[in-house]
Amino acid sequence: MKDIARELGVSVATVSRALKDSPRISDAQRERIKAYAREHNFYPNVIAESLRKSRVAPQKLIGVIVPQIAHYYFSTILSGIEEQASVRGYRIMVAQSDERYDREKRICESFLANRVCGVIVSQAKDTKKYDHFQELIDNHVPLVFYDRICTGINTNRVVVDDYMGAFTAVTHLINTGCQRIAFYGSPMQLEISKNRFNGYHDAILKHGMKMDESLVFQCDCRDDAESLTPDVLRREDRPDAFFAVNDDTAIGILYTAKRMGFKVPADVSVCGFTNGERAIACDPMLTTVEQRGYMVGEEAVDILVNHVEGVTDMQKVVKKVVRTRLVVRGTSR
């Protein structure tokens, strides 16, 4: 704008007002300045303008941290976030932590530098320190957790009913005749792992069955499931069902069982947790717990924007639970 002002013999303020169609500038002067700008391929710096405005009001930019964008559940949440943010008049800046604490910390620092008005995040698997999240709060940046929440900080969150989803799924397996049900879960420092394990545990005890700790494993991806399951199925006291923390792990169990000659679900039942596209792409199609990720994303945006716009007091912590639904298909009896 300084270059345009110098070439046309006007002030920078006049150039700025003309480019914004200010009525304070005459039509002739406004068109003269805009024509010169077009001829010289000038475009306003949107980021600089947002930062300038953010001194008096937060820019409408939401930072979003996703552990893995390729993961179906996280991608559906991201779709919900993006759509609802657009409806509310906000843009999003998305970054992937790749399940790493160090990367997650750098992303938070970047969001602060870019003056985001708030952050929506699902923490990485190996995050055990929460200083980077606390720094956001200390800088008056509203924070909303989804899926994997940070128990070290009392802040806004949107989660699915992991406990009841697991309890319902394991109850279904028991009601269809399964007696020995293995659990494949994520690291227990994650709240979702604790809740899903507790649902599994309580369903077994409620139905008068004995809890067998030897059937509980830390395994939450397909590759690990395909490595672990052969040994589990070769046991003399092998399980007749598996409940997995996510669909990918469940599909790894399914294909391993089939390769070993077991019939699913006649010999072994399998249940997952997500209800992603892969659940209907396998044979037989997967019985699983639907998480409703799109709704989680929408709720997270509404909580955040209501804080930013003063509808909800910044000091108030909002917690939303999205109900799950068991989808019964061909991998259970």
Residues 59 and 205: their CA atoms lie apart, in Å, by: 52
- Band of pLDDT at residue 59, cut at 50, 70 and 90: confident
Q: Quickly state the pLDDT bin for 156 (edges 50, 70, 90).
A: very high
The C-alpha angle with vertex 324 and arms to 278 and 232, in degrees rounded to 5, equals 55
The predicted pLDDT at position 57 comes to 52
Predicted local distance difference test score (pLDDT) of residue 52: 54
169-215 residue pLDDT tens: 999 999 999 999 999 999 898 889 999 999 999 999 999 999 999 99
Residue 128 pLDDT greater than 70, yes or no = yes
Burial of 93 (0-12, 13-18, 19+ CB in 10 A): middle
Question: Under DSSP, is residue 285 helix (H, G, I), strand (E, B) or coil?
Answer: coil
What percent of the chain shows pLDDT beyond 70?
95
The answer on pLDDT for 13 being more than 90 is no
Residue 314 falls in which region: left (phi positive, over 0), alpha (psi -120 to 50) or beta: alpha
Q: pLDDT at position 23, please?
A: 84
pLDDT for 125 equals 87
Two tokens, residue 274: 């997500």
Looking at residue 61, its pLDDT comes to: 96
**Choice among 50-59, 128-137, 224-233, 259-268 with the minimum mean pLDDT:** 50-59
Average pLDDT, stretch 221-244? 97
The token duo for 236 is 């003399």
| Average confidence (pLDDT) over 215-238 | 97
The pair of structure tokens assigned to 269 is 């039942």
pTM of whole model > 0.75? yes
CA distance from start to end of the chain = 70
CA angle 239/243/248 to nearest 5° reads 120
pLDDT at 53 over 70: no
How high does pLDDT run on average in the chain? 92
Query: DSSP code of 279?
Result: G
Tokens of 315: 């000091």
> Residue range 126-150: average pLDDT?
92
The secondary structure of residue 105, as a DSSP letter, is H
- 277-312 per-position pLDDT tens digit: 999 999 999 999 999 999 999 999 999 999 999 999
Query: In terms of DSSP H, where are the helices of 176-282?
Result: 191-206, 222-234, 247-259
Q: Say what the pLDDT of residue 119 is.
A: 98
- Mean pLDDT for 101-122 is 94
